[in-house]
Structures are given as C-alpha cells and as structure tokens.
Structure 1
Amino acid sequence: MNSKEIDFTQLIQNNQGIVHKVCRIYTDTQEEHEDLFQEIVLQLWKSFDSFKGDSKFSTWMYRVGLNTAITLIRKKSKSIPVTSIDSTNFSHLKSQEYDEVQEERLKLLNSSIKKLNDVERALVLLYLEELPYKEIAETMGITEVNARVKMNRAKEKLKEMMNPSYARK
C-alpha cells in the first residue's frame, strides 16, 4: 500500500460511523446498508484527491456520503421504499432507563422522518448529530441561512406529522 492508500484507510476506519449513519437513514435492510456503504467508500476513494482540507474531513465525508446516497436513491424506482434514521441515531435523546412513552415518541419521530424528502432527511441527520449550521451548510452545499430555513421547515413538517390529528388527515 502506498501512503495515500494508508491515509485513506485510516481516515475511513476512524470515521466509518459517519458512513454507517448515512446508510441507516437511506436503507431498509442490512444488505442494502452494506451495498450503500461500499458505494460511499468507493466514491470517497474516487474523490479523495479532491479533498483539500478546506473543511473538516468529517464534513467532506458527510457531503460525499449524502450525495452518493441521494443519487442512488433517485436512480432507483420510486416503488422501492426508502428508510430514514434508525432509532439508534436518537440514543442521545433517550434517558438511561427505559421509558415507554419516550420510546413511542422516538418511533413516531423515526416514522415521520421517513416521510421527509431526501434533502430534509439529510438535514435532520446532520442536525441530530448536533453539527453547527455552518457545518451543515458546508456539507449540504448551501448557505447557512438556507440551511436554517430548510431545517425550520423540516422541523415544522415533523411537528405537524407528529401531531395526533395529522394521522386523521
């Protein structure tokens, strides 16, 4: 292995959680998750030379991962269901003790996120990762103001979907 391959392998090993999070938000099965993981790593490798260090590696990695996932999802037939964030992504929202009400709210949030469009799901993932809006904007390739506006709209959609009266519509 040359030094570029060694550097790349080390960076992927240290940051593979990012790729897994992106995979969880856009896949339903373990097989799909593994396929998407491989495709994202391939795209990261292909574009590794383009990483100049202007942003954090994790920001660049999210950007490539999300763009790869969204591109693949859009290429597939609309009849294939697309998933969103697995409840494990919300672990920082859970208390240490099991709370049935909290668990139900997390399930409702998860199912509501599944109904968002690809871009909104990506925004919500980055937001739940507690990234600052500046980094979310960089990752998504939009302005910080646009990231805030889009996130506020996504939050409003989620609030509406999580409202019990929404189910009756």
Structure 2
Amino acid sequence: MLNVHQPRLRRVARLYCPDADDRQDLYQEIVLQLWRAWPRYEARPEVQVGTWLYRVALNVAISDLRRRTRHPAAARLPGPADGLPEVPAPPPEGPDPDDLAELYRAIARLSDVEKAFVLLYLEEKTYAEMAGILGITPNNVRVKMHRVQEKLRQLLTQPA
C-alpha cells in the first residue's frame, strides 16, 4: 500500500519542506505516524485509504512546520569555516524547471490550509473527495479553492 501512495506522500513533504534533508525527515515521520495509526484506521473501514493517508500526512506536515517555526535550530553546525572539510551536497532529486520552481515559491507563500487545497487540487481530487479529506462541505471547498486560485494568480503575477 505504501508503495502505491509514496509519490503522494512525498509531494506532501515537498510542499511543506523546501530543504531536501528536512523533506526526507518529514516523509519518514509521515510513514512512522501512518504505521502507528494503522490499527485505528482498520477499525474504520468506511473511510477510504487515500483519504486517511492524506489526513495523516497533512496533519504531520502542518505539525512539523509549526514545530520548526517555533523552535528553529539555535546552534550553527560546524562547517568549512571551522576547519572541517566541506561535505558535497547530495545530487538533486530531479529536474526542477524554472516555472515549476516559481510555482513552488508561490505555493510556499500560502498558509498551511491553502497549501493543502493546492496539493489536493494537483492530485486531481474532486471537491467531494477534498471535502472528505479536509472535513468540510463540498460547497466550502469550492469557495476556498476559488480564493486560493485567485491568491496564487496574484502571487505569480507579482514581480519577484
């Protein structure tokens, strides 16, 4: 099951963590929380597995983001300036075209909830599916999606 949904879980991590190392940590935390929550999911078979995965992943990602913004690293890690050899950066995860990078920069400026809407929209979820995942009505999804799309349009047309 995890292999099927792994790309979606990685997209959640990508959306909430711009740094590759933090993104990998977040992905691992999402998987850990899914593992821990699995017995509770099995007790509720009426919920679709994809919906449940998104709820857990988004909750973990938002909690992690809040934790990181409240408690940023206090100490600087030692590096080349301290006489230690420089460790080469890991290879990039793949091509990241300029337009995609610009879109991610705009998405990064959205609120946590707005990011969730964008993620579900990019996953081609219906408004009914989004409503089930986010715990709101489909009508409310429609209104909020319109507002998020307008905000993204404004962010993308503003000069950098």
The TM-score bracket by the shorter chain reads: 0.7 to 0.9
Q: Kindly report the root-mean-square deviation, in angstroms, between the aligned alpha carbons of the 2 structures.
A: 2.2
What corresponds to 1:25 in structure 2? 15
Q: Determine if the alignment matches structure 1 residue 34 to structure 2 residue 28.
A: no
Deviation at 1:119, TM superposition (A): 0.8
TM-score (norm 2): 0.76
Deviation at 1:53, TM superposition (A): 2.4
Whichever residue aligns with residue 60 of structure 1, its letter is: W
Whichever residue aligns with residue 46 of structure 2, its letter is: D
In structure 1, runs of 5+ residues without a counterpart are: 1-10, 81-87, 91-102
What corresponds to 1:50 in structure 2? 40
Whichever residue aligns with residue 156 of structure 2, its letter is: M
Distance (whole Å) between structure 2 residues aligned to residue 126 and residue 46 of structure 1: 24
Greater percentage in helix: 1
What corresponds to 2:51 in structure 1? 59
- Contact conserved, 2:15 with 2:104, CA < 8 A, in 1? no
In structure 2, runs of 5+ residues without a counterpart are: 73-93
TM-score (norm 1): 0.72
Q: How does 1:100-139 map to 2 (within 5 A)?
A: 104-139=98-133
Deviation at 1:106, TM superposition (A): 3.5
The structure with more radius of gyration: 2
Which digits, 9 at most, give the CA deviation of each residue in 1:140-166, with x for residues without a partner?
Answer: 122211111111110010111122xx3
Distance 1:115-1:55 versus aligned 2 partners, 3 A rule: same
Deviation at 1:18, TM superposition (A): 1.8
Secondary structure of 1:167's counterpart equals coil
Whichever residue aligns with residue 76 of structure 1, its letter is: R
Distance (whole Å) between structure 2 residues aligned to residue 14 and residue 112 of structure 1: 28
Q: Determine if the alignment matches structure 1 residue 68 to structure 2 residue 60.
A: yes
Identity percentage over the alignment? 40
What corresponds to 1:100 in structure 2? none
Deviation at 1:115, TM superposition (A): 0.6
Distance (whole Å) between structure 2 residues aligned to residue 17 and residue 73 of structure 1: 20
Structure 1 residue runs of 4+, over 4 Å off?
none
Whichever residue aligns with residue 161 of structure 1, its letter is: L
Aligned length: 136
Distance (whole Å) between structure 2 residues aligned to residue 146 and residue 115 of structure 1: 22
Q: How does 1:152-163 map to 2 (within 5 A)?
A: 152-163=146-157
